[in-house]
A and B are shown apart, each in its own frame.
Chain A
Amino acid sequence: MARKSQSPRVRLWPPAVVLAVVYALAIGADFVAPYDYFAQNRSLPFAPPARLHFVDPAGNWHLIPFIHPLVERPGSYGEYVEDRSRIYPLRFFLEVPSGQRGFQRWNRRLFGVDEPARLCLLGTDGYGRDQLSRLLYGARISLFAGLLAGGLAVALGLALGAVAGYYGGWIDELLMRGAELCMTLPWLYLLLAVRAFLPLHITPVEAFLLLIAIIGLIGWARPARLIRGVVLSAKERDFVRAARGFGGGDLYLLRRHVLPQTFAVALTQIALLVPQYTLAEVTLSFLGLGVAEPVPSWGNMLATLQQYHVMVSYWWMFFPAVALIGVILSYHHLATVVQKRLGVVTL
């Protein structure tokens, strides 16, 4: 019953590959997303995901899949049927008509269909905007807010934790009391509270930067405490004392000998904090306190689900949720692997 089990083998590459692909898609949204995130099509609100066909009504097989355009069923409101008489094959490396380029720096898209048909692989939202494109552009906001905030928090934690642990005394006391203050208050409350004292009506870019700043400023406490702990023991190691004995200055000692010992902890902290902060951005945008329409974030995309009819009728509006769970799961997996490989024990 109680035998120490062989822990299941953990591999680094599956979560790493998943995350790399997701981030690459987010960065390449200008090229991968078939449409602009703000491109509306008022004749196709809440259209279901497009079906890719290989066999046309005449029974011929096509090598390249095609779609039938959606038309509203006569006499209904918001119900769509496929117009079987028309066929639009999928096209790759499609040139974007110059009138529709918007903010695009790319004049080609990875895939799409010819006008006037629209290829909405994940359906459309209430304004007829393509869900897939919005998901990709939203990934830019949500994922990079998490990544940058996590980076900021760990960088701050690294700097402050190292200073506190290395110098000790009143600096240590002050910083650690501050960290305790940040850590005792419930996280979401603190986030909301700080947000409460900042202006409400701001542009999406400001909101994005503000979110990163808030999350990073609240989040430094945990990495700082952990890193302080490592620094406390690291600075007493023999080779560090020897280096000090040879006349190494504080800055040199910190940079060359002490900080490298903390990188394992810092790396694990990043893997643990980034998904948490991604979620924080999503939550704030969901509550209407973060990035606002028309710029998509996974949070404000999910916010439409608060409307009863959207939630009940249009299941494809749940795609951001699926993406979110996938990303968080990958990060958790990554954190476990990193922890095991580097032998770090964290809470």
Chain B
Amino acid sequence: MRYTAKRFLAGILLLFLVSVLTFLLAELAPGDFLSEMRLNPQISAETVEALRTSYGLDQPLPLRYLRWLRSIAKGEFGFSFAHNRPVGALLWVRARNTLLLTTTATALAWLIAIPLGVWIASRQGGWTDRLSLGGISVLQATPELLLGLGCLLLAARSGLFPTGGMVSLGFAELGFAAKLRDLAVHLALPAAALVLGSLPILLRHVRSALVEVLDAPFVRVARGHGIPRRRLLFRYALPAAVNPLISLLGFSIATLVSGSLLIEIIMSWPGLGPLLLEAILARDLHVVIGCILLSGFFLVAGNLLADVLLYLADPRIQTSGTPR
């Protein structure tokens, strides 16, 4: 427990460091949101100056950082110039959309990867194993960018799926069932792209974890006792192979916010990805920092959760010493 608390504090410290660093970098960056406005002949220099004052951009860096910290306490995470409202409100809506997409995709990927990985491992050395390993490496070499484009092409060609967005026009008027259906149809392709993107890594890990266990003497003994194959694989071998998988699950959770960035942009899913890209292009730096911190938070939380789960699943693991 003390170990967990220590890790938690280390995580908080990391996030704090990241926020300081991003602020410093932002300070070093040439230009701000208003510098583009200064080029506009229709906006007078006085207006720009007044805006600078009202946003507090004329104040020294430490003061601005403190103001920003105070706004975190209020849940605002600074102020978005481009959207003209607190970053917090923007972030929550977008984060909800992103999490909807990524939790669906992650759950699906794991539900596919475990049985499939176990099956591939059980065929180790055979032609099915070779074939699936080949398929996995091709899939692994296919960048997410191209998976997204491929899904988009599928949507455009087949006409079965919408080519972007999260809901159709007139979503608000639909009944509950129709709403769910609409959402599911929009969710299908981005989720599929994400599943395909994460599947090869998951499959590889499940396979190699299981292959190791299937070599162990206890499995041979169990087989000698005539325990049926399926029971042997899922009740005997899988639990023994679960440790590396839990670490991987932590990684999955850690990337819940950040993993779908590119797919969201390509498939125009209204999540954090497009928000971040727009913010970068508009120099809306508080939004950029907010996005980075949120993803950093999930990273810390995911890794922490993995460690706790690992501890709960395997009593052999000691927390007193240095972590693994």
Could you list which residues of chain A lie within 8 angstroms of chain B, going by C-beta atoms? 1-6, 8, 180-181, 184-186, 188-190, 192-200, 275, 279, 282-283, 286-289, 302, 305-306, 308, 311-312, 318, 321, 324-325, 328-329, 332-333
Contacts and interface: CB of A to CB of B under 8 A. Distances in A.
A171 to B, nearest CB: 19
B163 interface: yes
B265 interface: yes
Contacts, number: 124
Interface of B: 14, 17-18, 21-22, 25-26, 28-31, 122, 124-125, 129-130, 137-138, 140-143, 145-146, 149, 152-153, 156-157, 163, 211, 214-215, 219-220, 223, 255, 258-259, 261-262, 265-266, 276-277, 279-281, 283, 285, 288, 291-292, 295-296, 299-300, 303
B258 A289 contact: no
B125 A5 contact: yes
Given A1-B223, A188-B261, A197-B26, A321 B124 contact: no
Given A1-B124, A2-B124, A184 B14 contact: yes
B299 A185 contact: yes
A318 B142 CA distance: 13
Closest CB pairs A-B (n = 9) = A5-B125, A2-B214, A186-B258, A197-B29, A329-B141, A196-B280, A328-B141, A197-B25, A312-B156
B292 A185 contact: yes
Contact of A311 (B130, B141, B143, B156): B156
27 contacts: A2-B215, A5-B124, A5-B125, A181-B17, A181-B18, A184-B300, A185-B296, A186-B258, A186-B299, A188-B258, A192-B277, A193-B22, A193-B292, A199-B31, A200-B281, A282-B145, A286-B145, A288-B281, A302-B146, A308-B156, A318-B149, A321-B146, A324-B143, A325-B138, A325-B143, A329-B141, A332-B137
Nearest to B265: A287
Q: Which of A6, A8, A193, A199 has the largest count of B CB atoms less than 10 A from its CB?
A: A193
Contact of B145 (A288, A302, A308): A302
A139 B216 CA distance: 48
Given A2-B124, A185-B295, A196 B285 contact: yes
Given A8-B130, A324-B143, A289 B156 contact: no
Contacts of A181: 14, 17-18, 21
B291 A189 contact: yes
B142 A325 contact: yes
Given A199-B31, A283-B143, 10 more contacts: A6-B125, A181-B14, A181-B17, A184-B296, A186-B261, A197-B29, A305-B149, A308-B163, A312-B153, A312-B157
A181 B163 CA distance: 37
A164 B71 CA distance: 39
A289 B25 CA distance: 18
A199 B28 CA distance: 11
Nearest to A193: B292
B146 A325 contact: yes
Nearest to A322: B146
B143 A279 contact: yes
Contacts of B279: 196
Given A181-B17, A196-B280, A311-B156, A321 B261 contact: no
Contacts of B300: 184
The dominant DSSP class at the B interface is helix
Contacts of B295: 185-186, 189
Nearest to A333: B137
Contacts of B130: 8
B258 A189 contact: yes
A302 B144 CA distance: 13
Contact of B262 (A3, A8, A283): A283
A282 B22 contact: no
A232 to B, nearest CB: 15
Nearest to A201: B31
A3 B125 contact: yes
Nearest to A200: B281
A282 B22 CA distance: 25
A305 B267 CA distance: 12
Contact of A1 (B156, B214, B277): B214
Contact of A193 (B145, B259, B288): B288
Nearest to A321: B146
Contacts of B129: 5
A328 B143 contact: yes
B261 A189 contact: yes
A302 B292 contact: no
A196 B288 contact: yes
Contacts of B30: 199
Nearest to A278: B143
A1 to B, nearest CB: 6
B272 to A, nearest CB: 9
Contacts of B149: 302, 305, 311, 318, 321
A2 B18 contact: no
B140 A283 contact: no
B266 A306 contact: yes
Given A289-B280, A302-B145, A305-B149, A329 B137 contact: yes
A302 to B, nearest CB: 7
Nearest to A6: B125
A192 B223 contact: no
A194 B21 CA distance: 11
A344 to B, nearest CB: 16
A328 B211 CA distance: 27
A3 B216 CA distance: 10
B125 to A, nearest CB: 3
B280 A283 contact: no
B152 to A, nearest CB: 6
A124 B315 CA distance: 63
B217 to A, nearest CB: 11
B156 A325 contact: no
A40 B158 CA distance: 33
